[in-house]
Amino acid sequence: MSQVLPISNRESWPWPPAIQASALVHVVALGAGLFVSGAWPWAIGALVLNHAVITAAGLTPRSSLLGPNVTRLPASAVARREIAITIDDGPDPDVTPKVLDLLDAHGQRATFFCIAERVLEHPALAREIIARGHSIQNHTARHRHNFSFLGPRGFAREISRAQQVLEEVTGERPSCFRAPAGLRNPFLAPVLHRMGLSLISWTRRGFDTREGNPATVLSRLTDGLAAGDILLLHDGHAARTALGQPVILEALPKLLARVQADGLRAVTLPEGLST
């Protein structure tokens, strides 16, 4: 299925300065290599360095070098004392219902970056997330581990499939996207732009797919907690505590208590991003 874009749409993509600079490096290096005697080693060195910088940016989830990337809520949300709790990799039939109960008990809301194939396995649970006042956003169709190595077509397939599934199941079309582990390459930003999706990363994360100590996860999330923060936890792929509990179930109640004690309010991303 080819996706032919109108020229105007293609041209509307504002290539980030770093990518424009990268293109310039290629042109200059090629020109120097061809026309300046003895310049080849320098030209190749410049290209290798350029690719190292671009790759490093793709491996840095909070970087904006490859395109727009939301790491905090806007000033309007800060003024409203809002934060966003984002919960990735679900829905999970064992963990997510308990997470929903904890959020209800504290009267707070969250955003679930769901994997579309898991939504297809548990559609009623996805609808319950929405019915209880939370938001579901796009975390790809399958959460492929090689996601960050895909090209434009691969990105478009994974992301548009998830858009379709999430909208069909929940009745709401996502406006936010998060890459698996936050990893990407320069081809992602134009695809998101075309689909009207905002790339969302985070202010802080608990590394709770690997860290089983709830106190460590909590302190990573709350050290310096302030209005506008976007926090990352996991209901899917959650690490287990020493007692075998998914770590989110022990860390989340304490996080919610801290949010309330600090006079903050956890809202969904669409609420927090609204001005």
Between 108 and 137, whose beta carbon lies closer to Zn ion?
Answer: 137
Contacts with Zn ion in 71-90 (CB under 5 A)? 88-89
Could you give the count of Cα atoms lying within 13 Å of 47 in the half-sphere of its Cβ? 14
What's the closest the beta carbon of residue 10 comes to Zn ion, in angstroms? 30
Residues 158-187 contacting Zn ion, CB under 5 A: 180
Q: How many other C-beta atoms are found inside a 10 Å radius of the C-beta of residue 273?
A: 20
Q: Per-residue x/- mask for Zn ion, residues 31 to 70, rule CB under 5 A?
A: ----------------------------------------
- The least CB distance from residue 155 to Zn ion, in Å, is 15
Query: Given the complex with Zn ion, which of 89 and 229 has the nearer CB atom?
Result: 89
Minimum distance of Zn ion from residue 4's CB (angstroms): 31
- For the bound state, the minimum distance from the C-beta of residue 126 to Zn ion, rounded and expressed in Å, comes to 16
| Choice between 43 and 176, CB closer to Zn ion | 176
Q: Which is nearer to Zn ion, 39 or 183 (CB)?
A: 183
Report the site for Zn ion in 87-116 (rule: CB under 5 A): 88-89
CB of 169 to Zn ion, least distance (A): 19
Closer residue to Zn ion, CB minimum distance, 208 or 229: 208
**In the complex with Zn ion, which residue's Cβ is closer, 50 or 163?**
163
Cβ nearer to Zn ion, comparing 136 with 227: 136
201-to-21, 83, 227, 243, 251 alpha-carbon distances in Å:
24, 14, 16, 30, 20
Number of residues that bind Zn ion (CB under 5 A): 3
Q: Which residues in this chain contact Zn ion in the complex, by CB under 5 A?
A: 88-89, 180
